[in-house]
Structure 1
């Protein structure tokens, strides 16, 4: 499992950071981290958007869901069945938000693991076409 995690999440992010540091002016680690974080955010944006749309639709259905709960106070099975029918009628997948979370969590952990390494890049995790940066500046834009 650890091998797959490294292969799918950790190594691509580490290599992306190494490429950015190597090719950015001043070899700026801070700017590379910002660019990598924005790039990852754009990659997961479709999943986040779908989850947000689902949340908005569910928010609009709250009054109807409240009515269902009041109408079937003592029958939880009927309550669940009617709620699922309502979701199906409006094309809502209540599991969509959880799916987005399951996609984001490994990426966040991989980013943490990449940033935990600091300015060192282990050549064992770098792709053959990615060189270890010769110099890494920890001063953001050469100022701080």
Structure 2
């Protein structure tokens, strides 16, 4: 039952969408088709991304209040966590939206692995009748085979991920903890090692997703600046009226 649902409602639609893009917008370039597919997936997940970024901005604004709660209830972790959850509920801060975005991307990674394992040309029998079957899938992208692992492209992903985490952490304006530094170095390294064992197509997917995330970070920073300016104006008005 579950294998049939996976094949019919997840794997097959993704494969057909990828080949549709390959036949059309990508002009027979599988690497471009993967890039387009990634942007389509990220746009589909955009509502959850917006909720996640909104929650992140609100959480940063609540930083002082949460820090005070952690200090006041440091000896009572149960009460501390309950009060923090209550504060987050009051301000409608949802941690689950980001989980859904990451889960969605992880699902696509698994499906892409299934598409490429054993060679994509052997999977064309699963195409719908209305999808044109290419005579042969060109897996070459910028001189590299998308179906085999690549030290270069997995390394590029690791470096870009490190830079994204670096700038994201410093944009929060708070001092970095040891765990922050550990995460900044260890997580990109683990991602690099994992991608190095997988077909290069996964690196292209994650790299494109990181570019999309960079755009989201830029938008979030602009929103934070506007919020900060608005808050300063409110404080100035309060001082004047007082």
TM-score, L = length of structure 1: 0.79
CA separation in 1, counterparts of 2:27 and 2:118? 20
Contact 2:121-2:136 within 8 A present in 1 as well:
no
CA separation in 1, counterparts of 2:88 and 2:27? 53
1:29 corresponds to 2:30 = yes
Q: Name 2:135's counterpart in structure 1.
A: 134
CA separation in 1, counterparts of 2:95 and 2:38? 28
Q: Name 1:74's counterpart in structure 2.
A: 75
CA separation in 2, counterparts of 1:118 and 1:38? 23
Name the CA shift for 1:137/1:105 in 2 (closer, same or farther; >3 Å): closer
Name the CA shift for 1:134/1:100 in 2 (closer, same or farther; >3 Å): same
Offset from partner CA, 1:11-65 (integer Å, 9 cap, x none)? 1111012122233575222222222222222222222222122122112212111
Name the CA shift for 1:54/1:30 in 2 (closer, same or farther; >3 Å): same
CA separation in 2, counterparts of 1:38 and 1:125? 23
CA separation in 2, counterparts of 1:137 and 1:35? 16
**Offset of residue 102 of structure 1:** 2.6
Q: Which runs of 5+ in 1 are unaligned?
A: none
TM-score, L = length of structure 2: 0.51
Instruction: Return structure 1 stretches of 4+ with deviation > 6 angstroms.
Output: none
Instruction: Identify which range, 23-32 or 57-66, moves more after superposition.
Output: 23-32
Contact 1:22-1:134 within 8 A present in 2 as well:
no
1:1-144 correspondence to structure 2 within 5 Å: 1-24=2-25, 26-116=27-117, 118-140=119-141, 144=143
Contact 1:15-1:126 within 8 A present in 2 as well:
yes
Q: Which runs of 5+ in 2 are unaligned?
A: 144-242
CA separation in 2, counterparts of 1:25 and 1:64? 50
Count the aligned residue pairs: 142
Contact 1:30-1:138 within 8 A present in 2 as well:
yes
Name the CA shift for 1:94/1:61 in 2 (closer, same or farther; >3 Å): same
* Structure with larger RCO (C-alpha < 8 A, sep 6+): 1
Offset from partner CA, 1:97-127 (integer Å, 9 cap, x none)? 3233333321222133334465515244212
